[in-house]
Amino acid sequence: MKSSLSSIVAAAVCSGVLGSACAADRAPEVVRGEYLARIGDCVSCHTARGGRPFAGGFALETGFGALYTPNITPDLETGIGKWTADDFWVAMHEGKSKDGTLLYPAFPYTNYTKVSREDSDAIFAYLKSLQPVRQRNREHALRFPYNQRKLLIGWRALYFSPGEYKPDWKQPPEWNRGAYLVQGLGHCDACHTSRNFLGATNTEEGMAGGLLPVSSWYAPSLSANRESGLGEWDIKDLMSLLKTGVSSRGAVFGPMAAVVQNSLQYLTDADIRAIAVYLKSPGPDDNGDNRQLAAMLASGAKIYDTHCKSCHGSNGEGAPPVYPPLANNQSILMSSVTNPVRMVLNGGFPPGTEASPRPYGMPPFSHLLTDQEVAAVVTYVRQSWGNRGAAVPVWEATKARGLPTD
């Protein structure tokens, strides 16, 4: 989904090895803006394959259709040449275009709103310094009703609160720098957090991992917990992975490889370390695995009480042979959670036989429960009444929802 390295080189002639040769010819704000644009990986989304850098036209495929990124070169007619720094700040901070049009959140203004005005102005100064490219923007190709922009009013009311990043003064400056980069320009949760059916990130889960739409790559947990996150990683290994794409613990592939190639490799060691420190450390309101699991189990218990208890019993005892027990049920406790997750989503019926011509079945809940709720209730069943199954990642429900029902 990212542009080629040749496009990146063309987009930033004065970066990397060449930076020392021509940085003196540009204003300090422009040089800093280029660096900040690297952190945001702006060129990757605003460059079509084989196209001119920052001229837009890149197709962002989503579950709702395709969005085509706009031209952000300073062309007066087709780009942002007539924009002011105030216009750009409103787009970054409030998710609104120059004419007041509400922007689709594929442009991650839900993260960019945390960027400071000073940094926003620097990025704008850099974009204004680019060579203008005359290329008109393409219309989005979203399905109805997602192509009705007025629906964004409700989406924003539910999922968007504008506001710059506020430092946590209980944390050291390095931690706060990392938090600012990860939560803001880096927009890491855009991939590493699961999304609900309206495409909003499930912020209450933190960066516990998420399945990328369309591409079906899984972005792993970036939380500090030891079970599935970065708790056991050494800072140096994590820095190496972010900066070079490889470390003694593994390597990056898929979309993350492009992020390292186009963005992270250009960051200073100090900023890479700040990101690693932030990702390694629990946040001020994060108690790690126990807090997350407790919330998941509490949610699962409520769902079970509402939808499952009447058939499977208060203690998972069931009513055999009509309703199977869930306590000490090996089909529930297998290492793979695919079967129980699919049963919750799609339901199922035993075969009709001569001895049992009209068996009872399990109704589907895919239309009632989100992926988060499916994962929560299956986790609750796997960890109640003496069951000792592992928690279910949300991405397992997301993956299973797209599988054939038969």
Q: Among 342, 338, 345, 339, which Cα is nearest to 307's?
A: 345
With 0-12 CB in 10 A as exposed, 13-18 as middle and 19+ as buried, what is 214? exposed
Model pLDDT, residue 266: 92
The label of the residue with tokens 């309703």 reads 323
Over residues 337-366, the pLDDT tens digits come to 888 899 899 887 767 677 767 767 788 898
The mean pLDDT value for 289-313 works out to 86
Model pLDDT, residue 305: 93
What is the spatial distance between Cα 147 and Cα 65, in angstroms, rounded to a whole number? 9
Residue 340, SS3? Answer: helix
Q: Are 33 and 124 in contact (CB under 8 A)?
A: yes
Q: What percent of the chain has pLDDT over 90?
A: 40
- pLDDT tier for residue 206 given thresholds of 50, 70 and 90: confident
Copy the structure tokens of residue 316.
């998972």
* HSE value, Cβ hemisphere, 13 Å, CA-based, for 381: 33
Which range is least confidently modeled, 131-135, 261-265, 275-279, 291-295? 291-295
Domain 165-286 and domain 289-401, same fold? Reply is yes
Q: Among 80, 165, 159, which Cα is nearest to 114's?
A: 165
Model pLDDT, residue 219: 76
The label of the residue with tokens 């397992």 reads 396
Copy the structure tokens of residue 24.
């003196």
Over residues 170-196, the pLDDT tens digits come to 888 999 999 999 999 999 888 888 777
Residue 115 identity (one-letter amino acid) = V
Q: Are 278 and 284 in contact (CB under 8 A)?
A: no
With 0-12 CB in 10 A as exposed, 13-18 as middle and 19+ as buried, what is 227? middle
Copy the structure tokens of residue 260.
């390292």
Pick the CATH number of 165-286 from 1.10.287, 3.40.1350, 1.10.760, 1.10.10: 1.10.760
Model pLDDT, residue 395: 77
CATH superfamily of 289-401: Cytochrome c-like domain (1.10.760.10)
User: What are the extents of the domains in the chain?
Assistant: 1-159, 165-286, 289-401
What is the spatial distance between Cα 373 and Cα 313, in angstroms, rounded to a whole number? 19
Over residues 234-265, the pLDDT tens digits come to 888 889 889 988 888 778 887 888 888 889 99
DSSP 75-113: -TTTSSTT--HHHHHHHHHH-B-TTSPBPPTTS-HHHHT
User: Which backbone phi and psi does 178 adopt, to 5 degrees?
Assistant: -65, -40
Model pLDDT, residue 356: 66
Instruction: Report residue 268 CA to chain centroid gap.
Output: 24
What is the spatial distance between Cα 324 and Cα 1, in angstroms, rounded to a whole number? 46
For residues 175 and 213, the model is more confident at 175
Residue 294 identity (one-letter amino acid) = A
Copy the structure tokens of residue 169.
């003064």
Copy the structure tokens of residue 380.
């609750």
Q: What percent of the chain has pLDDT over 70?
A: 86
Copy the structure tokens of residue 294.
């407790």
